[in-house]
Structure 1
Amino acid sequence: MKFLKIGDRNLLYPIIQGGMGVGISLSSLAAHVAGNGGMGIISTAQIGFREDDFYKNPIVANLRAIKTELQKARDLAAKVFENSKLTAKFLDILKNYTPFIGFNIMVATNKYADYVIEAVKAGADIIISGAGLPIELPELVEKGMAVSGNEKRTCIAPIVSSRKSAKVILKMWDRKYKTTADAVVIEGPLAGGHLGFSYDELNELGADTMTSRNYKKDKYDAEIKEIIEEVRIYEEKFGKKIPVFVAGGIYTKEDIAHVMDLGADGVQMGTRFVTTYECDAPDDYKQTYIDAKEEDIVITKSPVGMPGRAIRNDFMDRLKSGPIPIRHCHNCLALSVCDRKTIPYCITDALCSAANSDESHALLFCGSNAYRADKLEHVEDIMLELTEDMN
């Protein structure tokens, strides 16, 4: 069998479960994906929203929850791993294997540095970071290691959508810190939630309305190849493997095979794991995916000014009549990203409502393939299906 090397760690199957906030990918989903040989990712976006002091001290609650959720994920992943059908046939080889678990931390997060340092202190295997350029990520990881005394370095992986953004980040890390990425995630225009594309770019790629109906696949495939080519420059310079994972519109093993034929080393998948029994989302959130039709999946404008993909509902229809009053500021995003005076609604309130089964006030982020879900599944069964021809 063959492992995928990421930093000084081994990943059994080249599948990352994407970080989904608020409260959609926490300890349960991450543990079950990691325990079945993939990479489990916990989203730090308002991760402490169920803490008693969240509304009074959101950042304190979130930083505390980072450690709590990771420990819960570690404990559960170990049990899942022992009983997984995917690992049972390799138990002799995998006796020293540790399930791979990390965090997705948005650069746009208020107190971003504190979140990164706390994740490193907690012992995260990796930090995947986008929603901005994670220029300071290497330095912040080193600070976290110095404070915690951890011997194993937390791996770092930027999220990029173009060769230009990949080049800026990798060049800056090289010049400023004499280091490079341990992995790179390419997030394409069919992804869920906030997208790293302008409305014009989405229109040009045929990904600005509905789902992938008009998507110009070949055009973005060429961009994926360009990004991989850029990453390989730094592989050669630093003499290390930098695995590239493609995200956005990945749903089946055929999708995986396609991007790996382009030169990718693996994939990141979010939407496919939402409709699982083990996902941290409430049951009615999952049912919304199952009930969704293709025409229900639309592009909407987020309060932070970025386009995002979501399931149309009453909340989104009400927004057409004007802004929804903001009841409370959670200090979730940097001031440069979120203008409290002009935003049409509070993104935290809308996403927390989704995670708390309050659909009438909920923003239901999803990927382009959400409408393809027709039932709840177990993470293990999905992983068995996706990895059938691997190892």
Structure 2
Amino acid sequence: MAPHASSAPACEPGTDPSFDADSPVGALLALCHQHQLQPWSLKGRRLLPVVQGGMGVGVSAGGLAGAVARLGAMGTISSVDLRRKHADLFEQTRHLEHEPDAKQRIDAANLEALAREIRRARELAAGQGVIAVNIMKALSEYEAYVRQALACGVDALVVGAGLPLDLPDLAREHPATALIPILSDARGVQLLVRKWEKKGRLPDAVIIEHPRLAGGHLGAARVTDLQDPRFDFEVVLPQVQAFFQSADLEREIPLIVAGGIGRQEDLRRWQSMGAAAVQMGTAFAVTEECDADPAFKRVLAQARPPWSEPLRVRTSTNTSVPSRSRMIRST
């Protein structure tokens, strides 16, 4: 991937397209209707009901997010350590381990890389869909990443790996940017919505991420919690919908389910239970447009159950934020 020059123009917010029935986006929306699948809306933009989830490090950058958005869906850039996608930034920071200002210089390089990836995604999207940035609340650089993404006019911020109770404050001057927290159970949704409501802002959507089925940093503190039925979509969706109704909120909050989604039947099932859309990661990780190394994509695409080397699923609660990932051994 060729890096953008540092003198590239500032990021500009996208516009809501009018869908032409003969365009690729219009054709996909017609296909949804044909299969009894419903598009969803985010900040007044009509979108395909499949969200591309954020995947780091460097798996979903500007290339994948822009390609997904161009087809009328929400594409998500993972903000973690994007300097590795840019030869100049990585070369400037790769040997800084013992420098007193190493962290500051690496952080600055990652912020510049994030701006470049947002610009790239916007160019590829050509005004279609939504460009989102996924940011981990647990990171010490969380606030800096949020401010950088907002300054670049990103369409949506997706925040997980912790409760982003401060996100409405950080985005106060950016009402046009959609704010989307990632949560795992109804209790977390209720807590966050009540806190945000006091700050005068509601989530523009909520991603319900199953800690056993999804990858990334998850909402279960112990491995044994992964089997807790409170995380099952069949439980969470009606509980959250009941809370929304009882809370008398000023507007509807779309729910997006994430984890274990792989077929059209999954999307239809969860929409029938009240979800607006589904989020998928692995299915996008093996595409030509994905920003990951070709060897990574090849091994992932060729993997078949039962899982064995070189592919294994690893679940860890020994880190500051529990995580679940696919580990690929170099071959």
TM, length-normalised to structure 2:
0.77
Distance 1:72 1:125 in 2: 14
Give the 5 Å matches for 1:1-391: 4-7=40-43, 9-50=44-85, 51-52=89-90, 53-55=92-94, 56=96, 57-78=105-126, 98-143=128-173, 145=174, 153-175=176-198, 177-188=199-210, 189-197=212-220, 198-204=222-228, 219-233=232-246, 236-238=248-250, 240-296=251-307, 297-301=312-316, 304-314=319-329, 359=330
Amino acid at match of 2:160: G
Q: CA deviation at 1:294?
A: 2.5
Distance 1:269 1:233 in 2: 30
User: Secondary structure of 1:168's match?
Assistant: helix
Distance 1:130 1:179 in 2: 18
Residues 163-219 of structure 1, C-alpha deviations (whole Å, 9 max, x = no match): 1111111111112x12211111000120012222231211445xxxxxxxxxx99x5
Percent identity at matched positions?
Answer: 34
Amino acid at match of 1:25: S
* Alignment check: 8 A CA contact 1:25 1:43 kept: yes
User: Secondary structure of 1:182's match?
Assistant: coil
- 5+ long unaligned stretches in structure 2: 1-28, 30-37, 97-104
Distance 1:178 1:33 in 2: 31
Residues 10-49 of structure 1, C-alpha deviations (whole Å, 9 max, x = no match): 0321221000010000011101110111101101011222
Distance 2:80 2:162 in 1: 14
Distance 2:148 2:328 in 1: 36
User: Secondary structure of 1:49's match?
Assistant: helix
How large is the RMSD of aligned CA atoms in angstroms?
Answer: 2.3
- 5+ long unaligned stretches in structure 1: 79-96, 146-151, 206-215, 315-358, 361-391
Q: CA deviation at 1:303?
A: 5.4
Report the counterpart of residue 11 of structure 2 in structure 1: none
* Alignment check: 8 A CA contact 1:299 1:307 kept: no
* Alignment check: 8 A CA contact 1:19 1:270 kept: yes
**CA pair 120-75 structure 1, distance change in 2 beyond 3 A:** same
User: Secondary structure of 2:55's match?
Assistant: coil
Q: CA deviation at 1:4?
A: 2.9
Report the counterpart of residue 318 of structure 1 in structure 2: none
TM, length-normalised to structure 1:
0.66
Q: CA deviation at 1:226?
A: 1.3
Amino acid at match of 1:6: L
> How many equivalent residue pairs?
276
**CA pair 5-262 structure 1, distance change in 2 beyond 3 A:** same
User: Secondary structure of 1:167's match?
Assistant: helix
* Alignment check: 8 A CA contact 2:296 2:328 kept: no
Amino acid at match of 1:70: I
**CA pair 3-202 structure 1, distance change in 2 beyond 3 A:** closer
Report the counterpart of residue 389 of structure 1 in structure 2: none
Structure 1 runs of 4+ with >6 Å offset = none
**Range that drifts further, 45-54 or 12-21:** 45-54
Amino acid at match of 1:183: A
Amino acid at match of 1:200: T
User: Secondary structure of 1:105's match?
Assistant: strand
